Structure 1
Amino acid sequence: MWTSTLAIIVLVGAIGTVGTLVVSALADDALVSESPADAETPDAVELIEFADDEPAATAGSEPCTDVSVLSSFENAGMVESLAAAYNASPRNVAGSCVTVSASKEKSGLAASLVAAGFPSLADDAKPEIWLPDATTWLDVAADEGATSLRADGVSTGVSNVVLAMPEPLAAAIGWDAEPPTWAEVFDAAADADLWNNLGHPEWGAFKLGKTSPLMATSGEAAMFVSFGASAGDVATLTAAQVEDPAIEDEVREHELATSHYMATPEHFLWHARQAEDTGGSSADFLSAVIVDEKSVWDYNRGITSRDGITRVEGEPPAEQLVPIYPVDGYFAADNPAMRLTGDWIDPVESEAAADFVRFLRTAQGQEAVRAAGYRDLNGMLSGDVAEVGNLAQSPTATLALPAADVVTAVHASFPDVRKRANVLFLVDVSGSMDEKISASDTKLTAAQDAIALALDHFTTGDQVGLAAFAQAPDGAMVPGTLSEVSDIESSRDGFLTALDGITSMGDTPLYQAVDTFAAQQAESWSSDRINAIVLLSDGENDAPNAPTIGADEMLENLGELHHTTPVLIFTLAYGADADVDTLKSISSATGAHYYDATDPTEVEAVLGDLVTSF
């Protein structure tokens, strides 16, 4: 038997082509590696020897050729670090200096943009390289008709997608010492009395956090392991199994433990930290979340982000996250660097892009990968990253990502198997909604158009309703409920008719509206649904014609509901005069998320992002 430390990593040689390399560990105390237990000694096993970078002796002439790299939200920090490392040395490609710049987008949206050829961007703003955090997004883009992907993509670094739990919870269930199978994870999540039976009734129900598989790799991985566990083996999942009605039914049951879906792992981790920072415990928001190792490292060193864009560094949390590596396997985000083709890319830009891709796999590039919290292409982590992130030095069951037909089958299945929603759209219709934001739109008409488009996210079985609020001269809150919360299959036409008929009027009884409609939604609360309100407001509480509830009382009532019949209130600040602080406090009190459309022309995109939570 092979007694040295070994590592398994995933390498991407082309779209949909995945190979496995087993390598021995480096004798470097600053690095740690993955190691399968009791692995047989393979033939010709050796480490990748990363060549040194070969920058130019002097930089080429200006203006520099710009190489734009589009990353995912999850791996944006790594890509930015790689760009900075490349830019720090002189480059000369075809006589020109080179500057690499980075942008980021949610994985699912980026795949669609690649497939469409970036129609809203000018040619000089389109990327030359796409570096999603997993090969699966190449499959999604190809399925959507992408023609700009070259067949020579290469992996840049690796981050395993694991189950992460607050340390006290992991210890209480024993998974910090003996990792479970994925089937055991889903069984535990379905047990309403689990924490009570383990002596911790204060933790409530098991709350499992997942991102949307249509937006993020961790959400995809969560669905892969859910289908795999239901089929009997997460490592050998097939498209036929994904489409099997009996397996779909079991996955549908798994999804009932999901609190709600979010667009990025950082959304969940931000809320967990907020729960701790406001005097509670991260267990108030989540019991476990399916997330990549790098995000665990960020969280444990005190870095969080409300929106996935702006990162805030604070003190490390008192309750550290523990990554759990299920014994039947977990998938690895493999970060493929894909050069694009298109008529916006000239030959020099193409050559410069190739030089940056070459740099990614040099010793200096891989050093930047490790420093950014990722495993390099030998499976190695920085020692500091492993220690702070509590990351396993030798996890044993990394899985190659599923084949393209499995990926597309899982994406296609999600609208049917996801947890259904019980959602009320609650719209501020005070007089300020008449404000013009373009030659053809007021804030109200733009909001109506955005809500109509967002309605397309919901499918049969989702219960959706519409209400609006303003204060009339006599002090009454008007107009109130416009379309009852009911199955969208039968109520869609009525909802759209009611939406089209909204007019602006009166003042803004924000606190009263939130308090009233949250209580109404709580009356129809169901553990089998995501119970929520989507609140869109363009102003501050302003109710001069009759006394209404105050902010403190409203928040206290929301807190009480959160412990019994929790209603998530997703708040959307609409326009520059929106009361951002109050809207943030409302969403935080309910464990939901705040969204920023203070530029009202962005309401369609922001609301489209918001409804991925359902």
Structure 2
Amino acid sequence: MAANRHRSRHRPAPARSVVPAKILISALVVALLAGGGYVASTRLLNADGASSDCPDTVTLTVRTGPAVSGPLTQAATGYNEARHQVLGKCVRVKIETVDSGQTALALASGWTEEKYGVAPDVWLPESMSWVAMARMTEAGARNVGTDGTIVASSPVVLAMPRPMAEALGWPDRQLSWADVRANENAADFWSGRGHPEWGGFKVGFANPETSSAGLAAVLNVVASTVGQPSSSLTQAQFSDDLATKGAILSFERGAELVAETDPDLVSAYAGWGKDAPTHMSALVLPESLVYQANVGTLAPAAGGDDDETTGLPPAAVPLVAAYPTDGLVVDEAPYQPLALPVGSERAAAAADFLTALTGPEGQAALNAGGLRSPDRTNAKLTQELGLVPALRTEPRSVLDGKTIDQARRTFLGIHQRGNTLAVFDTSGSMSLLVPTDSQHRTRLRIAADAAEAAIPLFAKDSQLGLWQFSTNLNGTKPYRELVPIGPLNEPVNGVPRDQALITAVNAMKAKGDTGLYATALAAYQELTAHYQPDRPNQVVLLTDGRNDDPTSALTLPQLIQKLKALYDPKKPVEIITIGYGADADQDALRQIAEATGSRSYPAQDPSNIFQVMVSALTDR
């Protein structure tokens, strides 16, 4: 798994100037609100910068995700300006912006300060899905505690540039998840509708690791593909079911953009300016960010302090929202105090800020940022802005945390661009016919057909190479390079690498013995020498037999010892082994894989080799 996949969006506040002692300064504080205008107040500061009527302050740290950060920061700014007090002390709310998936995993793991830093006082994720994931362990359930209070909501919508939506009949015609699944990356979609200048039907969404909207997209595309409601999907489907993995794979590979966060997706769209329709046909977004994109809200920078603002102008081409009838997800943002001592100052501060957020001023600030109230209404969300003020009633539907986590992990395995060396056994036993195959194919032919079907599933910016092995293929060496490791989007001797790989796979011939141990060691050394940071580096080794190379004295214990000595946790390279058929030495293959922190996949039925390959390449 690639290192540093999670990036904190929190930036430390800039240093503040110190006012000389005994000098009182009247400071005008202006906060731009999401709906425009400003609020001003005058503070008298003493020598250390504290308010003269608030000599003591209790700081309440509230952590949220990027999609809610802007409106919540504005609500916190208004709250801080009002100088709320609890137990004789002024309360200052500090907003942290950290991906909610990252926070959920930290809570689920038990949260240690050594690993995750100081825990926030309150967690306010964009969706109850993240709370479910945090609670998937006993430690997480203790950390999160009882159900929080919903303070805002926002449906997940399929946003389209207004000209495109109107060309499809919006607002009467609404885009669905089935439409996305059926038309994603269709090159002639717009030319068939009178707009060849718009190109194909391109989709953008945010990474489900960080985005509840991106997670909803994956769940609903899978549900549309397998023909069942997203609420009935299971952990086992995401870990084991090929149709489910195939749906995610197709969705990810067909996307024009998989952004790191929802705001990143909006920023990319806005950055394309008037050319936006040529870049994207549909964006999966929280409705609140569609509103912000259209009105040009000056939203605070992710992770900024409560008086720090940056933002974007209104999108050159406004977006309109479709509310899919085949799976409308309404994300609800819960206010979750985290294990605060009863009667403490921070517990009192948390309760006071909650009262403010659910009150008229707090709700007005959240609504001004495009979020709906807990009752799912917001009068600012008008059809003129491409939205609807009153949302149709939908029951809350949240999957269990383990299913959500597995869906994210499966997406990660598919989304990561790997550095992969495929190593195929071409020993004589691979020429045996498979008795259960109706086409009377050999083991090697079935494996080659599976590889030919799997190669197009690799993203074009993945790196892939190919070896074969038996015995005496290169002098006394049992292995031979067929295609060197390199990016699929770069040619090999003037031929596209993916085509070179397919040609080489189909040209393999079966003969000789099985030089398994020497090949495994050499392949591991080769990929270690071509290590790529921030990618999964993996040898995928497939064999139908056991080591019987007469030219090599290397034993299994020696191989395992060498692999463990070569393994570098800072630059991890894994050997994924696939035991092909009933004669494969499954125990040796398991030991080889485990020596590099990986897994072995038995394929007892050779006709299932494609499914096993897909699982091996997508599991993380």
What TM-score range do you get, normalising by the shorter chain? 0.5 to 0.7
Whether the 8 Å contact between 1:66 and 1:99 is mirrored in structure 2 is: yes
CA drift of 1:371 comes to: 2.1
The one-letter amino acid of 2:382's match is A
Question: Which of 151, 171, 174 pairs up with 1:156?
Answer: 151
CA drift of 1:397 comes to: 5.8
- Counterpart Cα distance in 1 of 2:531 and 2:244: 38
User: Are 1:218 and 2:228 matched, yes or no?
Assistant: no
Residue 268 (structure 2) aligns with:
271
Whether the 8 Å contact between 1:237 and 1:406 is mirrored in structure 2 is: no
CA drift of 1:251 comes to: 3.7
The aligned runs of 1:393-408 (5 Å cut-off) are: 393-396=389-392, 398=394, 400-404=396-400, 405-408=402-405
User: Are 1:351 and 2:348 matched, yes or no?
Assistant: yes
The one-letter amino acid of 2:334's match is P
Q: 3-state SS of the aligned residue for 1:335?
A: strand
Name whichever of 179-188 and 220-229 sits farther off. Answer: 179-188
User: Are 1:364 and 2:377 matched, yes or no?
Assistant: no
Write out per-residue CA displacement over residues 301-356 of structure 1, whole angstroms, 9 at most, x where no aligned residue. Answer: 2358898568654543331101111122311121111101279x992212321222
Whether the 8 Å contact between 2:301 and 2:311 is mirrored in structure 1 is: no
**Identity rate, percent:** 24
The aligned runs of 1:19-58 (5 Å cut-off) are: none
Whether the 8 Å contact between 2:73 and 2:300 is mirrored in structure 1 is: no
Q: Do the aligned partners of residues 306 and 341 (structure 1) sit closer, same or farther apart at CA in structure 2, a change above 3 Å counting? A: closer
Question: Which of 319, 323, 347 pairs up with 1:325?
Answer: 323
Residue 171 (structure 2) aligns with:
176
Q: 3-state SS of the aligned residue for 1:246?
A: helix
Q: Do the aligned partners of residues 122 and 378 (structure 1) sit closer, same or farther apart at CA in structure 2, a change above 3 Å counting? A: closer
User: Are 1:111 and 2:104 matched, yes or no?
Assistant: yes
Q: 3-state SS of the aligned residue for 2:329?
A: strand
The one-letter amino acid of 1:352's match is A
Question: Which of 255, 258, 267 pairs up with 1:258?
Answer: 255
- Counterpart Cα distance in 2 of 1:235 and 1:334: 17
Question: Which of 337, 343, 362 pairs up with 1:339?
Answer: 337
User: Are 1:246 and 2:248 matched, yes or no?
Assistant: no
CA drift of 1:208 comes to: 0.5
Question: Which of 379, 385, 397 pairs up with 1:389?
Answer: 385
The one-letter amino acid of 2:329's match is F
Q: How many residues align?
A: 389
Residue 529 (structure 2) aligns with:
497
- Counterpart Cα distance in 1 of 2:198 and 2:298: 23
Question: Which of 265, 270, 283 pairs up with 1:289?
Answer: 283
Q: 3-state SS of the aligned residue for 1:148?
A: helix
Whether the 8 Å contact between 2:184 and 2:254 is mirrored in structure 1 is: yes
Write out per-residue CA displacement over residues 255-304 of structure 1, whole angstroms, 9 at most, x where no aligned residue. Answer: 3321231111222222222222xxx5102321111001111011112358
Q: 3-state SS of the aligned residue for 1:336?
A: strand
Residue 486 (structure 2) aligns with:
484
Q: Which runs of 5+ in 2 are unaligned?
A: 1-50, 421-456, 465-483, 489-497, 499-519, 534-619
Residue 413 (structure 1) aligns with:
410
Residue 87 (structure 1) aligns with:
80
CA drift of 1:223 comes to: 1.0
Write out per-residue CA displacement over residues 1-50 of structure 1, whole angstroms, 9 at most, x where no aligned residue. Answer: xxxxxxxxxxxxxxxxxxxxxxxxxxxxxxxxxxxxxxxxxxxxxxxxxx
The aligned runs of 1:46-85 (5 Å cut-off) are: 62-85=55-78
Whether the 8 Å contact between 1:227 and 1:234 is mirrored in structure 2 is: no
CA drift of 1:200 comes to: 1.8
TM-score of the superposed pair, with normalisation by structure 1: 0.56
Q: Do the aligned partners of residues 329 and 287 (structure 1) sit closer, same or farther apart at CA in structure 2, a change above 3 Å counting? A: same
User: Are 1:232 and 2:188 matched, yes or no?
Assistant: no
Q: Do the aligned partners of residues 265 and 122 (structure 1) sit closer, same or farther apart at CA in structure 2, a change above 3 Å counting? A: closer
- Counterpart Cα distance in 2 of 1:176 and 1:69: 38
Q: 3-state SS of the aligned residue for 2:272?
A: helix
Residue 35 (structure 1) aligns with:
none
The one-letter amino acid of 1:208's match is V
Q: 3-state SS of the aligned residue for 1:382?
A: coil
The one-letter amino acid of 2:529's match is T
Whether the 8 Å contact between 1:139 and 1:408 is mirrored in structure 2 is: no
The one-letter amino acid of 2:330's match is A
Q: Which runs of 5+ in 1 are unaligned?
A: 1-57, 425-459, 467-481, 502-613
Whether the 8 Å contact between 1:148 and 1:340 is mirrored in structure 2 is: yes
The one-letter amino acid of 1:189's match is E
Whether the 8 Å contact between 2:73 and 2:95 is mirrored in structure 1 is: yes
- Counterpart Cα distance in 2 of 1:121 and 1:97: 31
Residue 606 (structure 1) aligns with:
none
CA drift of 1:388 comes to: 6.0
Of the two, which has the highest radius of gyration?
2
- Counterpart Cα distance in 2 of 1:163 and 1:392: 13
Residue 546 (structure 1) aligns with:
none
- Counterpart Cα distance in 1 of 2:156 and 2:170: 16
- Counterpart Cα distance in 1 of 2:166 and 2:133: 38
Q: Do the aligned partners of residues 234 and 494 (structure 1) sit closer, same or farther apart at CA in structure 2, a change above 3 Å counting? A: same
Whether the 8 Å contact between 2:106 and 2:116 is mirrored in structure 1 is: no
Question: Which of 128, 131, 135 pairs up with 1:138?
Answer: 131
Q: CA RMSD in A?
A: 3.8
Whether the 8 Å contact between 1:67 and 1:353 is mirrored in structure 2 is: yes
Whether the 8 Å contact between 1:373 and 1:382 is mirrored in structure 2 is: no
Q: 3-state SS of the aligned residue for 1:289?
A: strand
Whether the 8 Å contact between 1:297 and 1:388 is mirrored in structure 2 is: no
Write out per-residue CA displacement over residues 451-470 of structure 1, whole angstroms, 9 at most, x where no aligned residue. Answer: xxxxxxxxx9566459xxxx
The one-letter amino acid of 2:406's match is A
Residue 539 (structure 2) aligns with:
none
- Counterpart Cα distance in 1 of 2:313 and 2:357: 32
CA drift of 1:78 comes to: 2.0
Residue 127 (structure 1) aligns with:
120
